[in-house]
Amino acid sequence: MSQISIEILIFLIAAGFAAAFIDSVVGGGGLISIPALLFTGLPPSVALGTNKLAATMGALTSTINFLHSGKINKKLVIKLLPLSIIGAGAGVYVVQLIPSEFLKPVILILLILVTIYTLFKKGWGMESNFKELTKKMAYFIVLAALLLGFYDGFLGAGTGSFLIFSFLLLGFNFVESAGNAKVLNLGSNIAALITFMLFGSVNFQYGIPMGIAMILGALVGRKKHLGLCTKVYHVIVHN
């Protein structure tokens, strides 16, 4: 196993911190961390697996913080969690079937599309009006949890944002949606990471330092800037 250079180490730590800081509030941290790992020269499947290691470390920290805040609908997310886990495992399996020379451009195209969607999607969620699931809402969120779990295993970038939007559609406010999304995202991250490890597609030399940086980024983003970032997010998406 080759020694990681100090330049790459600093680069991954900076990228990991920035990705987790953003992801802890509005999601989309993978839009930073995945390109950073691809830039180091890792094969696409290994870059995705290594990102899952780092992202899981950051997501765990952020989820714990949300749990302490009481802004999570535990009854609902516990029911949806198995769907996210199953979907993520299936997504990773599909990634392993795709040749690297084809997977890299697919990843880049999806990253561009997710970035455009994140920038132009109109925001809402200042107040919570969720009461209970209707039959139509239940079908929607079940399908969303399964498909976004699959997407998280296949690529991952922007999964948090898509989950937040899904819960916003149910009537949760922005902070509650972010908390619910974090639990499902953590479940799919863990399932995807385990599956990537079984395929030998995780670089621990790169993933652990980036993961530690993501823990710090998640702590700073969640504890010190949640209110400010939420306001900035709504200003951006409404203008």
For 38-70, the pLDDT digits (tens) are 999 999 999 999 999 998 988 888 788 788 877
Q: Please state, in angstroms and rounded to a whole number, the distance separating the CA atoms of residues 86 and 84.
A: 6
**pLDDT of 237:** 45
**pLDDT of 132:** 78
* Averaged pLDDT, 226-239: 48
**pLDDT of 164:** 84
Q: Please state, in angstroms and rounded to a whole number, the distance separating the CA atoms of residues 61 and 57.
A: 7
Q: What percent of the chain has pLDDT over 70?
A: 84
Q: Please state, in angstroms and rounded to a whole number, the distance separating the CA atoms of residues 106 and 157.
A: 13
Q: At what angle do helices 44-69 and 100-120 cross, to 10 degrees?
A: 40
Average confidence score pLDDT of the chain: 83
* Averaged pLDDT, 158-186: 86
Q: Please state, in angstroms and rounded to a whole number, the distance separating the CA atoms of residues 164 and 38.
A: 26
Q: Is the pLDDT of residue 167 over 80?
A: yes
* Averaged pLDDT, 94-101: 83
Q: Please state, in angstroms and rounded to a whole number, the distance separating the CA atoms of residues 195 and 180.
A: 23
pLDDT band at 126 (very low <50, low <70, confident <90, very high): low
**pLDDT of 188:** 94
Q: For the chain, where are the alpha helices, taking DSSP H only?
A: 6-23, 30-39, 44-69, 74-97, 100-120, 135-154, 159-170, 174-198, 204-223, 226-237
Q: Please state, in angstroms and rounded to a whole number, the distance separating the CA atoms of residues 28 and 20.
A: 9
